[in-house]
Amino acid sequence: MGGKKDLGGRKSGSQTPLPGAIIPIRMTEKQPIIAVIGGGSCNREEARLAEEVGRELARRGAILVCGGLGGVMEAACKGASAEGGTTIGVLPGDNRQSANPYVQIPIVTGIGYARNVAVVKSGQAVIAVGGNYGTLSEISHALQSGIHVIGLNKALEAAKDSGE
């Protein structure tokens, strides 16, 4: 009679989820997770570059993870979203509303800059676009963890020169 039901409240084998149902997201090894890092504010060139990075990651089926705020993070999420990609924002504070409008999955941490470690360790690779001191710390954590880092628009120099 009742039968087995999934997380969406459907009978096993049913294709249509019920309204308000929890729909599980299945990640596979075919979906790499790439961290995009950079300053919470950025210039036009960095924003353009970050948006194109996001677009290309989505086109290639990668999930984008970032710090979830503005600047490079917002531009990258905007690009990924425009191409139908998945975006995750690891937020420093306690409020999911602080996420930029293109973050689909906000992760609220309440741990401030310590979230930088979570951002880079969540990625299988890191792409740095410009940046500030926070970006520099993320690059350091990634390299110490053996995670490959690609620096665009003089990421290392920008981080050392500008400060955050």
Model pTM score: 0.80
**Using only C-alpha atoms, what is the Rg of the chain?**
17
With bands split at pLDDT 50, 70 and 90, how would you rate the model's confidence at 7? very low
Q: What is the mean pLDDT of the chain?
A: 86
Domains in the chain, ordered, with CATH?
Answer: 33-162 (3.40.50.450)
DSSP class of residue 33 equals E
pLDDT of residue 164: 46
pLDDT of residue 153: 75
Structure tokens at 103: 């973050």
Closest CA to 134 of 154, 153, 114: 114
| Cα–Cα distance, 83 to 113 (Å, whole number) | 29
Say yes or no to pLDDT of 43 above 80: yes
Q: Which long-range contacts (CB under 8 A, 24 or more apart) does 88-92 make?
A: 88/33, 88/63, 88/64, 88/122, 89/65, 90/65, 90/66, 90/115, 90/118, 90/119, 90/122, 91/67, 91/115, 92/67
CB of 132 closer than 8 Å to CB of 162: yes
Question: What CA dihedral angle connects 115, 73, 45 and 141, to 10 degrees?
Answer: 30
Over residues 97-152, the pLDDT tens digits come to: 999 999 999 999 999 999 999 999 999 999 999 988 899 999 999 999 999 999 98
CB of 32 closer than 8 Å to CB of 59: no
| Cα–Cα distance, 122 to 107 (Å, whole number) | 12
